[in-house]
């Protein structure tokens, strides 16, 4: 497989996985700006491991994107030296947020003109 064909394969697999995962109206919970480079790395690694067809690469990429949503298997238990030894109630009423109790204020946004060196 030529280098150009290899790159085209990776691009098609990336696009297939990306379009399937980030469908309109889907709340994936994964930030696109973080997922994009990570997905590219995973696909390149899979191709180096021997995956050489679009469906298997796209499936591996899609599986990776879904794995980003999964919570850690074991919760991380952070204990501070001065923390009480008794268990902390997971749901503390002081931290509950309700929209009817919230206040919002709209602030004017100033527009800045950005001059690029490329122009």
Q: Which residue has the tokens 């008794």?
A: 86
Instruction: Quickly count helices (H) and strands (E) in the chain.
Output: 3, 0
Whether 9 shows a pLDDT value over 70: the answer reads: yes
State the pLDDT confidence band at 31, using cuts at 50, 70 and 90.
confident
Sign of dihedral through CA atoms 42, 44, 47, 49?
negative
Lowest mean pLDDT among 32-41, 51-60, 64-73, 74-83: 74-83
Q: What is the spatial distance between Cα 86 and Cα 80, in angstroms, rounded to a whole number?
A: 13
């Amino acid at each position: 497989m030529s280098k150009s064909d290899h790159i085209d394969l990776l691009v098609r697999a990336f696009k297939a996985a990306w379009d399937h995962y980030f469908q309109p109206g889907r709340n994936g919970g994964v930030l696109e700006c973080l997922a994009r480079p990570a997905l590219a790395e995973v696909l390149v690694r899979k191709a180096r491991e021997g995956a050489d067809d679009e469906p298997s690469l796209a499936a591996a990429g899609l599986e990776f994107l879904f794995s980003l949503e999964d919570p850690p298997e074991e919760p991380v238990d952070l204990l501070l030296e001065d923390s009480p030894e008794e268990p902390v109630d997971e749901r503390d009423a002081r931290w509950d947020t309700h929209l009817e109790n919230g206040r919002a204020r709209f602030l004017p946004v100033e527009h800045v003109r950005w001059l690029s060196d490329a122009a």
